[in-house]
Chain A
Amino acid sequence: MIVFAGSQLLPGNVGRAMLGPLADQRAVDNLNHELGVDRPVLVQYTDWIVHFAEGDMGMSYTLRHPVTDFVVAAMKNSLKLALVAFVLVVPLSIFGGVWAALHVGRPIDRIITIFGLSTTVLPEFVSGIVLILVFAVWLQWLPISASWPEGAGILTQVYYLILPSIPLVLVLFGYIARMARAGTVEALDSDYTRTAVLKGLPFPVVIWRHVLRNALLPTITVIATQTGYLIGGLVVVETLFHYQGIGGLIYAAAKSKDFPMLQAGVLSVGIVYMVATLTADILYSVFNPRIRYGAQG
């Protein structure tokens, strides 16, 4: 409802956005009537919500095709890119954070911390352009565009997604590594870790069973909250690497006042975000049984 209301507040109208500023007003009025956007706002909203409840996301105003086709295709692409980025960044940043925590105050800790902070503040379009110039234009090791050829297999798709996922890895590495480091430092300092060490458990077992299980809880929360960004917030990366994701779709829909597309896109991202946070909650309870017991008690 907020998206619908917000889109009504944008200046201009659908017909004008589609036909351009120089179009004859009669043509604009005809198009607005044809699309039904000259009806009262409440009627438009009711009409849309009724169709949506029936599983019909409507027709795109600008592309004159069912919205579902575009949203599903874009969402699939975004999930693939997010997955590749996650597969790269999660182990890398957890490893980096834990490694830094195990060497607190030493040069390696400082290097990891400074590197993480630097890459986090580096805008994706800067790192993206540098990566494209180095790896795609000069060395020609990786493709410039993230859009793979039609019918490409899974490995080819991953190959095409490596370059665009690196700017995401750089942005997320700092966040996740910092959380992993802080959690690990705290867990290393705790009584249960001291007890585990004093009772003679091997060091890797102490880390794996006692430290990481507790240290990674806040990290899981951070990872879950980044899902929204990784799915719907990659307009710059999608634009730069020419990738048809949901972020770019939503942005284009907002610009062209294509409300059915905009609403369907935002709702889809919202659903993915909800699923991600639910998954995080489940993982939280798996790693920390006290939450489950707390709920029972």
Chain B
Amino acid sequence: MAKDHRLLDLLRRRRTEHENHLIDMLLNGQVNRREFMRHGAVLGMSIPLLGGIAAAAGVGTFPNLARAATGGGTVKIAMTVPAAAIEPVSVADNGGLCMLSQVGEYLCVDGADLTLRPVLANSWAPNKDGSVWTFKLRQGVKFHDGTPMTANDVVATMDRLADPANSSNALSAFTGYLSKGGTRKVDSYTVEFHLDAPNGNFPYLVSSDNYNAIIIPADYKGDFEAHFNGTGPFKLEKYTPKVGASFVRNDDYWGPKALPDRLEFTFYSDIQPQILALQGGQVHVVQQTPVLAAVPIMKDPKIEIMSLPSIAHQQVHMRTDMEPFKDKRVRQAIALCLDRPKLIKGLMQGRAQIGNDSPFAAAYPSTDKTVQQREKNIAEAKQLMEAAGMKKGFEVTLTTEKYLEIPEYAQLIQSAVKEIKGKITLKIEDQGAYYGDAVYGKSDWLDSTMGITDYGHRGVPNVYLSAPLRSDGTWNSAHFKNPQYDQMVSSYIAALDLQAQRDVAGKIQRLLLDETPVIFAYFYDYLTAIRKGVIGVQPTAMGHLFLSQTTGV
């Protein structure tokens, strides 16, 4: 497609320095359309604007989502039983999050294509160094009890989440960036976030990437389950703990009205009965299915498996302060034993993307794709073992959790390292035993010599780069301490400009590839199983399930 320079000039007017730099990168071919859309959204550029610039730059238009003409009916969904009471401040599990996402909304949503889209905020923009972010709120939004949503509700919501005196699950995300009092009302529909430190990806912290950041009324008393009072397209009809929930269309919704009349959720404690219920036609959607559970239905003509690229992954940590992993050459040798394409094809049934021993998945716009991919190389691995004085091999216990495909993955690692005379004993525990108290000295996760831990999806790599890998990280199970790395991560998180992020990312990727405290072999897709003919189901890799545009039931 040809470039429309006149239109481009017009669209570039009044854009900030960072935004214009991003447009330059698109024009020079340094970012593709998808990366341009994603990073542009973080900087607060609207989706239509980004689509317009992309079209003018000759790299395609943003696809129009055709709205189905007919709706109605009841969508029936099978999902995992919420682990605890539905409480926006403390909710920590997929089941609870899925309930919240039926009635609650975020300032912005990290969608299926990993692009931020405005929801309760119309737009947002950073100051020059990314230490203050201004969000303009949508007007005409009402909570289900009829109260209008204003800046007061946003300030109260964020302060509640940032308050260390609450049992807020958002504290781990906010600490170091947003404190109580940092969210300030400018006017009824404008809010400023004054950060503790600059953050170039801050909108993700108040988006759907943060489970707890749904906007609830300022006068919230902690009784969410009684009313499910949010601003979303569905209203609560009935909620029965451990059994299920139903919702009906919210006719006062600010946006396009929901197509289904009703949603009916049934809670299950295991995946197998959910799959059987889908096969038997008792439900239309299974919210999430692990890949191994989905195998029997992958060829079922009545069922479709929706595969959403995600950054969720299994981290294989190796204690850098303990034998046999003190020498980085041993860690590198183990990483070289893995045949990643085979792992993805066999273990993950092709539903994963390859990893290169850093959290920088290919889907992140900031990932430096020039960094060479690590491949299986037994000869090199043997050389490294010999150089490390480990020619005779090593013995180690790999401790891990019984979750998803992790036990099978552990067995494959156990088998792979036999080629370099590695003897791994597996210790596979219940999740409660593995995580323990989740503090050093009281947790197999954080104390084991070698382990595998599941990490959920995040729209930006900040969390993965910090908690499990920084010297002062609270989840640093590899006990990796590298001041140079710490400094690089601080620079990466603060950077607003995509090129600046990409430059630092490349350095981090190379450092982690060399040090290999953690193996990132693959990033697995988020799978949702749906009856054929049901369309418009929109899951996110975080575990939300948006059903307002669902038809065909």
User: What is the 8 Å Cβ interface bit string for chain A, positions 35-68, against chain B (1 contact, 0 not)?
Assistant: 0000000000000000000000000001111000
* A10 to B436 alpha-carbon distance, docked (Å): 9
Q: Which residues of A contact B68 (CB under 8 A)?
A: none
User: Is B518 positioned at the interface, with any CB of A under 8 Å from its CB?
Assistant: no
Given contacts A144-B273, A239-B270, contact A27 B439 (CB under 8 A): no
User: Is B73 positioned at the interface, with any CB of A under 8 Å from its CB?
Assistant: no
User: What is the 8 Å Cβ interface bit string for chain B, positions 66-91, against chain A (1 contact, 0 not)?
Assistant: 00000000000000010111010010
Given contacts A18-B92, A136-B276, A145-B273, contact A30 B282 (CB under 8 A): no
Q: Which residues of B contact A145 (CB under 8 A)?
A: 266, 273, 277, 282
- Looking at B172, B243, B432, the one whose CB has the most chain A CB atoms below 10 A away is B432
Pick from B268, B432, B467: contact of A11, CB below 8 A: B432
CB pair B90 A18 closer than 8 Å: yes
Given contacts A144-B276, A239-B273, contact A20 B436 (CB under 8 A): no
A25 CB to closest chain B CB, in angstroms?
Answer: 6
User: Is B147 positioned at the interface, with any CB of A under 8 Å from its CB?
Assistant: no
Q: Which residues of B contact A62 (CB under 8 A)?
A: 83-85
- Looking at A10, A136, A147, the one whose CB has the most chain B CB atoms below 10 A away is A136
Pick out which of these stretches binds chain B: A86-94, A102-110, A241-249.
Answer: A241-249
User: Is A17 positioned at the interface, with any CB of B under 8 Å from its CB?
Assistant: yes
* A244 to B268 alpha-carbon distance, docked (Å): 10
User: Is B490 positioned at the interface, with any CB of A under 8 Å from its CB?
Assistant: no
Given contacts A26-B164, A27-B167, A63-B85, contact A20 B92 (CB under 8 A): yes
Pick from B165, B241, B272, B437: contact of A12, CB below 8 A: B437
Q: Which residue of A lies closest to B175 (CB)?
A: A24
Given contacts A239-B273, A242-B266, contact A21 B167 (CB under 8 A): no
User: Is B280 positioned at the interface, with any CB of A under 8 Å from its CB?
Assistant: yes
Q: Which residue of B lies closest to A70 (CB)?
A: B242
Query: Binding site of B, secondary structure by majority: helix, strand, loop or mixed?
Result: loop
Q: Which residues of B contact A64 (CB under 8 A)?
A: 84-85, 87, 225
CB pair A256 B90 closer than 8 Å: no
* A22 to B270 alpha-carbon distance, docked (Å): 23
CB pair B282 A16 closer than 8 Å: no
CB pair B276 A132 closer than 8 Å: yes
A-B contact count (CB 8 A): 135
Q: Which residues of B contact A205 (CB under 8 A)?
A: none
User: Is A23 positioned at the interface, with any CB of B under 8 Å from its CB?
Assistant: yes
Q: How many residues of B contact A (CB 8 A)?
A: 45
Given contacts A132-B276, A137-B279, A137-B280, contact A244 B242 (CB under 8 A): yes
B316 CB to closest chain A CB, in angstroms?
Answer: 17
Q: Which residues of B contact A249 (CB under 8 A)?
A: 242
* A239 to B271 alpha-carbon distance, docked (Å): 9
A222 CB to closest chain B CB, in angstroms?
Answer: 30
User: Is B360 positioned at the interface, with any CB of A under 8 Å from its CB?
Assistant: no
B98 CB to closest chain A CB, in angstroms?
Answer: 15
Q: Which residue of B lies closest to A65 (CB)?
A: B241
* A140 to B279 alpha-carbon distance, docked (Å): 11
* A11 to B172 alpha-carbon distance, docked (Å): 22
* A278 to B83 alpha-carbon distance, docked (Å): 37
User: Is B113 positioned at the interface, with any CB of A under 8 Å from its CB?
Assistant: no
Given contacts A17-B432, A30-B165, contact A140 B280 (CB under 8 A): yes
* A residues at B contact (CB < 8 Å): 10-13, 15-28, 30-31, 34, 62-65, 70, 129, 132-133, 136-137, 140, 143-145, 147, 239-242, 244, 248-249, 252, 255-257
- State the 3 A-B residue pairs at the shortest beta-carbon distance, nearest first: A24-B171, A20-B92, A21-B435
